[in-house]
A and B are shown apart, each in its own frame.
Chain A
Amino acid sequence: MLGYIVKRLGSLLATLLVASIIIFVVIEIVPGDPASFMLGLNAQADTVVALRTELGLDVSKPQRYISWVSGMLQGDFGQSYTYRSPVADMIGDRLWISLPLALYALGLSTLIAFPAGIWAASKRGRATDSIVMGFTQLGVAIPNFWFALILVLFFSIKLAWFSAGGFAGWEQGFFAAMKSLTLPAIALALPQAAILTRVMRSSLLDVMGEDYMRTARAKGLTERQALVHHALRNALIPVLTIIGLQFSFLIAGAIIIENVFFLPGLGRLVFQGIAQRDLIVVESVVMLLVFAVVLVTFLVDIAYAWVDPRLRQGRRR
Chain B
Amino acid sequence: MPDSVNCRQASRLLCVAYDRGLDATESEALQYHLGRCLMCRNFDSQLKFLRKASERFRTGAD
* Chains A and B form a bound pair: no
Residues of A within 8 A of B (CB): none
Residues of B within 8 A of A (CB): none
